[in-house]
Amino acid sequence: MADTMLHEVTDGLATITLNRPDAMNSLNTEIKEALREALQQAAADSAVRAVLLTGRGRAFCVGQDLKEHIGTLAEARESGGGNSMDTVRRHYNPITEAIAGMPKPVVAAVNGVAAGAGAGFAFAADYRIAAATATFTTSFAGVALTADSGVSWTLPRLIGHGRAADLLLFPRTVDAHEALDLGMVNRVVPADELAAEAEAVARKLAGGPTLAYAALKESMAYGTTHTLVETLAKEDELQTRAGASEDHAIAVEAFVRKEKPRFTGR
């Protein structure tokens, strides 16, 4: 794995850390490809039961590396028709799909500034814990761009259409406590407690009923775009699958015995 990305798997938890602190973890081609590969690998690895995504330094991720992007724009102009934004298709889309779509929970530990695509990656996670010093900025319109990295889908679902439209049309910095009030994040903790708190949450999920978590992710995503009747049918399908799992049998037996279940992820 490239030095711009730290990737470690221990006891079912994959910890993926953006590692360009001097550049506030801005997204150049190298780090985007490393992040895409790390997430796809975690999604496919049966030994991984939860993912913790964070950044090193004072930023979670400030989005696109604009220094690199200036060169990309110049190349597109010189070629007379090149696509200066093909990174959306090649990088941002598969990264967001991997976070939101993998059949295991993803925790984002937002340690600092999260802007543009960086905010989008955090919004795509299943659970967000922010340091009290963290901030969020939907900066797309400020550089004459539309939303990417799934923000037009995730943000309205987190905070409502009206609030999302306000933040997208009039970009501004949202501090951690306002983000909590709006519903952008699930929890805010002191900055010096973030790493331990986020790891504890992620490890609890890694030790939980993985197949049930996967079904919960699938049913919630399905329910946002389908009718109640269709969603009830999907719940029936997924519950049938969950009810046949080893973890469900373990949980029922542990409940009867008044013991704590030890899930296997199967």
Per-residue confidence band for 165, with pLDDT thresholds at 50, 70 and 90: very high
Residues contacting 230, CB < 8 A, separation 6+: 222
Helix (H, G, I), strand (E, B) or coil at 206: helix
The answer, yes or no, to whether residue 151 has pLDDT greater than 80, is: yes
Per-residue pLDDT at 112: 97
Per-residue pLDDT at 1: 46
The answer, yes or no, to whether residue 2 has pLDDT greater than 70, is: no
Q: Which residues belong to CATH 1.10.12.10 in the chain? A: 210-257
In the block, residue with structure tokens 């979670």: 60
Q: What percent of the chain has pLDDT over 90?
A: 80
Per-residue pLDDT at 160: 96
Residues contacting 56, CB < 8 A, separation 6+: 6, 17, 18, 19, 20, 21, 25, 111
The answer, yes or no, to whether residue 24 has pLDDT greater than 80, is: yes
Per-residue pLDDT at 111: 97
The answer, yes or no, to whether residue 174 has pLDDT greater than 50, is: yes
Classify residue 149 by burial, with Cβ atoms within 10 Å: 0-12, 13-18, 19+: buried
> CA 166, 133, 185 angle in degrees (round to 5)?
50
Length of the chain: 266
Mean pLDDT of the region 202-215? 95
Nearest alpha-carbon partner for 197 in 262, 109, 113, 135: 109
Q: What percent of the chain has pLDDT over 70?
A: 94
What class is the 210-257 domain?
Answer: mainly alpha
Query: Residue 159 is which amino acid?
Result: I
Architecture of the 5-206 domain: Alpha-Beta Complex (3.90)
The answer, yes or no, to whether residue 84 has pLDDT greater than 60, is: yes
pTM of this prediction?
Answer: 0.91
CA distances from 150 to 1, 61, 133, 207 (A): 25, 15, 24, 28
110-142: per-residue pLDDT in tens? 999 999 999 999 999 999 999 999 999 998 999
Mean pLDDT of the region 180-208? 97
Per-residue confidence band for 68, with pLDDT thresholds at 50, 70 and 90: confident
Indicate the average pLDDT of the chain. 93
Q: Which residues belong to CATH 3.90.226.10 in the chain? A: 5-206
